[in-house]
């Protein structure tokens, strides 16, 4: 693709002469025919030394571009880089059409242009939207609804009644609609409360590999449109996740907890059940949140506190043993002073 085409498609102008762009690469590894981005000033050294034929950067760094390189100047290089990579990325997979080695229930419906790989299973009354792709080993249970242009990667599982919007991507091994963890206590042991709700995933949601989102006890566990969930995340029954949230790897959200829109949960954070996090809340990695958090708040620590305090606590904590010794010294010194005073 000519650089002029690339520029046209992402709506940028470029300096330098036009040339054929063969691929995208990092500043360090790029060579003849590659385009590479400067996404952080930290990489300025690699930028000035790159052998890429073309570069992408913001206006402030355009002058630093190596001589002779074509340069696309962007007001938002990361976003434009996403668009450029999209031009060169090819979707995964090597088959099209509906494999005769897949299982499709007689009462299931496949939209036009659906790709169904061998060993995929589509249950009764399930409906797969147009142009969606279902990889090997995927299970789509009865009464599921998958929107258009969805991608279900290998061995992902949609238990009965799961509903996915359009352009949803589910990575390999992820399970949607497994039973919520709900038991009543009886003298004979834990008695299962059957989980008769389901899972609803909004448009443009992406969910990483080997994650698990449980069906609701009743009604629905919901993930709002545009939310992105990383690998190995646990979303328990009845959780309500807002729109455009970012939930990083290994986070766990316990039952019935509600996240507003634009919430960010960093890696390995845990949220207890039945709490509410307002819009735009950000939670630091490994935090344990046990109570409601108002919109816009930043939290860290386990148990969590406001992020600024957590930062200070983190700096102070290593000095705790020394603090203990200092207090002991103070106590002794004060005792001496008191004795002294008493003697006088």
What residues are labeled active site?
Answer: 237
Among 179, 275, 298, 307, binds a second copy (CB under 8 A): 179
Site string for a second copy, 35-64 (x = CB under 8 A): ------------------------------
> Taking the complex as a whole, how short is the minimal distance between the CB of residue 121 and a second copy, in angstroms?
4
Per-residue tokens: 254 = 């316990």
> Taking the complex as a whole, how short is the minimal distance between the CB of residue 64 and a second copy, in angstroms?
21
> Taking the complex as a whole, how short is the minimal distance between the CB of residue 4 and a second copy, in angstroms?
22
Nearest residue to 72 via CA among 87, 88, 89, 56: 56
Q: Which residue has the tokens 């352009």?
A: 167
Among 101, 291, 294, 296, binds a second copy (CB under 8 A): 101
Q: Is 98 a binder of a second copy (CB under 8 A)?
A: no
Q: Is 172 a binder of a second copy (CB under 8 A)?
A: yes
Segment interacting with a second copy, rule: CB under 8 A, options 5-13, 51-59, 62-70, 166-174: 166-174
CA distance 264 to 282: 5
Contact 322, 305 (CB under 8 A): no
> Taking the complex as a whole, how short is the minimal distance between the CB of residue 35 and a second copy, in angstroms?
11
Sign of CA dihedral 92, 98, 102, 103: positive
Among 81, 150, 202, 257, binds a second copy (CB under 8 A): 81
Q: What distance, in Å, lies between the first and last C-alpha atoms of the chain? A: 94
Among 246, 275, 295, 307, binds a second copy (CB under 8 A): 246
Subset of residues 278 to 337 that bind a second copy, contact rule: CB under 8 A: 285-286, 288, 301-303, 305, 309-310, 312-321, 323-324, 326-327, 330-331, 333-334, 337
Nearest residue to 18 via CA among 57, 72, 78: 72
Among 2, 49, 59, 191, binds a second copy (CB under 8 A): 191
> Taking the complex as a whole, how short is the minimal distance between the CB of residue 201 and a second copy, in angstroms?
15
Q: Which residue has the tokens 């004795």?
A: 339
3-state secondary structure string across 54-114 = EEEECHHHHHHCCCCCEEEECCCHHHHHHHHHHHHCCCCCCCCCECCCCEECCCCEECCCC
CA distance 211 to 156: 9
3-state secondary structure of 291: coil
- Element at 121 (helix H, strand E): strand 121-122
Among 147, 244, 257, 283, binds a second copy (CB under 8 A): 244
Site string for a second copy, 117-156 (x = CB under 8 A): xxx-x-xxx---------xxx-x-xx----------xxx-
Residue count of the chain, please give it.
344
């Amino acid at each position: 693709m000519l650089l002029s085409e690339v520029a046209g498609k992402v709506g940028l102008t470029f300096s330098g002469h036009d040339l054929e762009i063969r691929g995208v690469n990092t500043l360090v590894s790029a060579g003849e025919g590659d385009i590479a981005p400067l996404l952080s000033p930290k990489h300025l050294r690699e930028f000035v030394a790159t052998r890429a034929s073309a570069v992408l950067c913001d206006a402030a760094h355009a002058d630093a571009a190596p001589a002779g390189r074509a340069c696309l100047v962007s007001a938002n290089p990361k976003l434009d880089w996403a668009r450029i990579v999209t031009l060169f990325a090819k979707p995964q997979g090597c088959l099209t059409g509906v494999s005769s080695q897949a299982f499709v229930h007689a009462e299931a419906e496949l939209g036009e242009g659906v790709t169904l790989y061998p060993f995929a299973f589509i249950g009764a009354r399930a409906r797969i939207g147009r142009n969606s792709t279902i990889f090997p080993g995927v299970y789509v249970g009865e009464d599921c609804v998958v929107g258009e242009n969805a991608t279900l990667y290998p061995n992902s599982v949609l238990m009965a009644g799961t509903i996915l919007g359009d352009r949803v991507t589910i990575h390999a091994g992820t399970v949607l609609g497994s039973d919520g963890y709900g038991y009543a206590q009886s003298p004979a042991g834990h008695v299962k409360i059957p989980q008769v709700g389901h899972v609803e995933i909004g448009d443009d949601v992406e969910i990483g590999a080997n994650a698990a989102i449980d069906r609701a006890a009743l009604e629905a566990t919901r993930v709002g449109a545009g939310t992105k969930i990383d690998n190995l995340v646990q979303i328990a029954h009845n959780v309500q996740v807002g729109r455009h949230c970012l939930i990083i790897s290994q986070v766990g959200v316990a039952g019935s907890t509600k996240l507003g829109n634009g919430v960010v949960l960093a890696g390995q954070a845990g949220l207890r059940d039945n709490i509410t996090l307002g819009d735009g809340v950000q939670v630091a990695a490994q935090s344990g949140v046990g109570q409601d958090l108002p919109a816009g708040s930043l939290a860290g620590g386990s148990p969590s506190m406001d992020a600024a305090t957590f930062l200070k606590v983190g700096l102070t904590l290593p000095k705790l043993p020394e603090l203990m010794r200092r207090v002991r010294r103070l106590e002794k010194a004060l005792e001496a002073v008191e004795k002294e005073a008493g003697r006088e």
